[in-house]
Amino acid sequence: MSQPPGPYDGPPSPYGQPQQPYGYPQQPPAYPQPGPYGQPQPGYGQPAGYPPFPQQAGYPGGYGQAGPLPGMPPLASWGARVGATLLDGLMFFLVPSGLIIAGYTRYSVKLADRWDDCDRVGIPHDACPTPKAGGGVVAMILIGALLSLIVALYLCYREGKTGQTPGKRIVGIRLLREYDGSTLGFGLAFGRRLLHIIDGIPCYLGYLWPLWDDKNQTFTDKIVHTVVIKDPQ
C-alpha cells in the first residue's frame, strides 16, 4: 500500500527517475572532462565553436637552415653583406670621399711645386717653407668630412630603426638583435659602427670572420650580440 506523499517530498520526476527529497544533498552537476594533452579548451573571452585566436605571426617557412631563434630566417651570407656595404658606399660615400680626395690632391700638387722651387735654389725639403692650403682646399676637405658624418648618422638611424640600410634592403638582408630578433635602435647601431674598427685589426680579420663562424658574425657582432639574416619580405 503506497504512502501518501510527505510535505517535503519533491514532485515526481517526469521521466520516471526518483527525485531526492528536500534536505538531502543533490547530485553535483557534471563538468566537462578535460581534453587530451595538447588540445586546448576554449579560453576566456573565446566562445566554444569559434576558430581559435590567431597565433603571433612569425617568419614564413621554406628558407632551409633556421636562424639563431626559432622561426627566424636563415643567416645572410658573407657575400650579401659585402655587397650591401659596397652599395651603401657607392650611393652615399662616393661624393664625400671624392671631395676629400680632391682637396688633399690639390694640396699635394701645391706641396710638390714648392719642393721643386726649393730644389732649384738648393734648399732641402725639410727646410723648405710649407705652402698654405688655401680656402678652396680647406673647404673641399671640410665639406667632404661633414657630408660623411651626416651620411654615417643617417645610415645608423635607418639600420637602428628598420634593421636595413638602402644597400641591405637591395640585397635583401636585415640586421637584428641576436637574442630576441628586434631592431637595434640608433644608439646601439651607432656604437656598432664605431666598433668596426676592431674588425679591421689585425688585417681585417674581423670582416672575414663570418666566412667560417657558425653565426656568420664579425667581432663587432659578437660584442653587441647582433646577427644579419635574410629578409623574408
Range from 63-67, 127-131, 167-171, 176-180 that averages highest in pLDDT: 167-171
Q: What are the tens digits of pLDDT across the range 160-219?
A: 999 999 999 999 999 999 999 999 999 999 999 999 999 998 899 999 999 999 999 999
pTM of the predicted protein model = 0.66
Amino acid 157: pLDDT? 98
Is a pLDDT exceeding 70 seen at residue 16? Answer: no
Of residues 213 and 40, more confidence is placed in 213
Q: What is the band of 126 on the pLDDT scale with cuts at 50, 70, 90?
A: confident
**Cα separations in angstroms, 154 against 41, 83, 90, 175, 199:** 50, 19, 15, 15, 22
Q: What is the band of 135 on the pLDDT scale with cuts at 50, 70, 90?
A: confident
Q: Among 38-47, 95-104, 106-115, whose mean pLDDT is lowest?
A: 38-47
Is a pLDDT exceeding 60 seen at residue 50? Answer: no
Range from 1-10, 63-72, 98-107 that averages highest in pLDDT: 98-107
Is a pLDDT exceeding 60 seen at residue 30? Answer: no
Is a pLDDT exceeding 90 seen at residue 21? Answer: no
Do residues 175 and 228 make contact, with C-beta atoms less than 8 angstroms apart? yes
**Which residue is associated with the grid cell 681585417?**
204
Amino acid 67: pLDDT? 61
Where would I find the beta strands (DSSP E) of 71-147?
none
Is a pLDDT exceeding 50 seen at residue 5? Answer: yes
Is a pLDDT exceeding 70 seen at residue 71? Answer: yes
**Cα separations in angstroms, 171 against 17, 78, 179, 184, 232:** 77, 12, 24, 20, 12
Of residues 153 and 49, more confidence is placed in 153
Angle CA 183–66–219, to nearest 5? 55
Per-chain mean pLDDT for the chain: 79
Q: At residue 177, what are phi and psi to the nearest 5 degrees? A: -70, 145
